Structure 1
Amino acid sequence: MSDQPIGPILDGLGTLIDLDDGDLIASALVIAKVVDANGKVALSIATSDGLSWIDQNGLLTSAQQVFDRAGIGRPGDEE
């Protein structure tokens, strides 16, 4: 296993983020489903430099709260 830049990988997956002019991403937490050559599935977490475990937990918890409120992925929900 080796560290790889995640930007090109996310680009290849078609990952986009909605930003307004002047918005600045201050830190990032990326959660990914990884499938190895044998088909084994694992969870991988990548963070931006300097992101402490406390900040990681805060981003993860906040994201979960947004998902819960938005009802993302619930059958019957329409955008």
Structure 2
Amino acid sequence: MTEQPIGPILDGLGTTIDLDEGDLVASAFVIAKVIEPNGDVSLSLASSEGLSWIEQNGLLASAQQIINQTSIGRKGDDE
């Protein structure tokens, strides 16, 4: 396994973030589904430098809460 910059990979997937002018992204925690050459699926995690496991856990828990709240009214997810 070789470490690779995540920016070009996320760009290739069309990943964007909604920011207002002057907003500063202070840290990032990325969760990725990886399909290996043999077809196996795995989970890969990446975080910005200096992000502790406690901060990762906090970002993950907060994101889960946001997803749970917004998924109730989301159209097309179960169609």
TM-score, scaled relative to structure 2: 0.91
Structure 1 residue 41, shift from structure 2 partner = 0.3
* Identity across the alignment (%): 66
Tell me the distance in 2 between the aligned counterparts of 1:77 and 1:27.
Answer: 27
| 1:77 alignment counterpart | 74
Counterpart check, 1:46 vs 2:43: no
| 1:28 alignment counterpart | 28
- Other structure's SS at 1:3 match: coil
Tell me the distance in 1 between the aligned counterparts of 2:74 and 2:19.
Answer: 24
| 1:13 alignment counterpart | 13
- Other structure's SS at 1:21 match: coil
In structure 2, the gaps of 5 or more residues are none
Tell me the distance in 2 between the aligned counterparts of 1:77 and 1:62.
Answer: 18
Q: Deviations over 1:8-52 (max 9, x none)?
A: 000000000000000000000000000111011000000000000
| 1:67 alignment counterpart | 67
